[in-house]
Amino acid sequence: MVPITQITPSPLLLPLLRRSSHPPCRRRRRRPSPASFPLLPKTPGPLLSHPPRCSSPSSSPSPDPIHDDTVELPLFPLPLVLFPGAILPLQIFEFRYRIMMHTLLHTDLRFGVIFSDGASLAPVGCVGEVVKHERLVDDRFFLICKGQERFRVLNLTRNRPYLVARVAWLEDRPLPPKPLPAGETEDLDTLAVEVEKHMRDVIRISNRLNGKEPKEDAEAMDLRRNLFPTPFSFFVGSTFEGAPREQQALLELEDTSARLRRERDTLRNTLNYLTAASAVKDAFPSSPPAT
């Protein structure tokens, strides 16, 4: 089977933590127009199976919005999760996705990136906007995409030459108040500060374990970069590389405080593991090579 795409990965700085050079923007970006086309305390929503048949293929999705918040969107299934504000480099070489790119380059440069395990699709994805592209002589494309709004797949309307789905936009909505364990808080800024602290600690201990000299003091790192809690929670989720199902669960959450608490717990578990590994390394230092 020919793979759906070839991904140009960014280098990993940590097993679960990568620091992005392009944090999410605070301002809202425009949405696609209707004319365009477990480590887990909670598992992601059920995956959607690809339909056995669909309508006859055509060169572009038919603009047929049900209402202002529902549109048809071309989908690009990938074995990864894109978050709002995150940067995704891609290389497009499969014929059907080259067709999709030719169409997008004449419209609004937006498509849906959605996690796929190879046989089924996740129910929630993120719009990817092409911010830079290069077309090669053999008609392949190199793309730089940036995550925008999240969406929920309502139904698949076409599967040839590429997938098209009717989607609804997904935004964070605070959950009804509920009793919290002692010491817990719903204050978003307080949660964001806790998450940033755990991220700094993970970076510091991971660098120490790997024998890396940090370019700057971990305690002085401004990981949040003045982001509001919601975009900051998406930035943190984008750093959990190598755990796509955990990332998918974070993407699907519709409450910023719930997302930040889950990220804090994941970072706390990672920190406990790294601290134990560091203690073992200190107790049993490597012997110098014999001369």
169-221 per-position pLDDT tens digit: 999 987 776 676 666 667 899 999 999 999 999 998 988 888 877 666 656 67
Report the chain's mean pLDDT, rounded to a whole number: 77
The pLDDT, as a whole number, for residue 7 is 33
Residues with Cβ within 8 Å of residue 79, at least 6 apart in sequence: 7, 115, 116, 117, 118, 244
Q: Are residues 71 and 115 in the same domain?
A: yes
Domain residues for the domain of 58 are: 6-24+32-170
Domain end (from 170, 196, 213) = 170
Domain end (from 139, 170, 201) = 170
Q: Are residues 85 and 116 in the same domain?
A: yes
Q: Are residues 160 and 225 in the same domain?
A: no
CA distance linking residue 74 with residue 163, whole number of Å = 6
Kind and range of the H or E run holding 91: strand 87-92
Domain end (from 141, 170, 199) = 170
Work out the number of other CB atoms within 10 angstroms of the CB of residue 174.
12
pLDDT at 78 over 70: yes
Indicate whether 285 belongs to any domain: no
Using CB atoms within 10 A of its CB, is residue 59 exposed (0-12), middle (13-18) or buried (19+)? exposed
CA distance linking residue 111 with residue 119, whole number of Å = 20
Spatial contact of 148 and 127, defined as CB atoms under 8 Å apart: yes
Lowest mean pLDDT among 37-46, 182-191, 272-281: 37-46
The two tokens of residue 219 are 């305690």
Half-sphere exposure (Cβ direction) of 20: Cα atoms closer than 13 Å: 27
Our measurement of the distance from residue 239's CA atom to the centroid of its chain's CA atoms, rounded to an integer in Å, reads: 8
CA-CA distances (angstroms) from residue 100 to 68, 141, 162, 220?
A: 24, 11, 7, 44
Q: Are residues 130 and 245 in the same domain?
A: no
CA distance linking residue 78 with residue 91, whole number of Å = 12
In which band, very low, low, confident or very high, does the pLDDT at 289 lie, cut at 50, 70 and 90? low
What pTM does this model have? Answer: 0.73
How many domains, in total, are found in the chain?
2
Q: What angle do CA 267, 233, 33 make, to 5 degrees?
A: 145
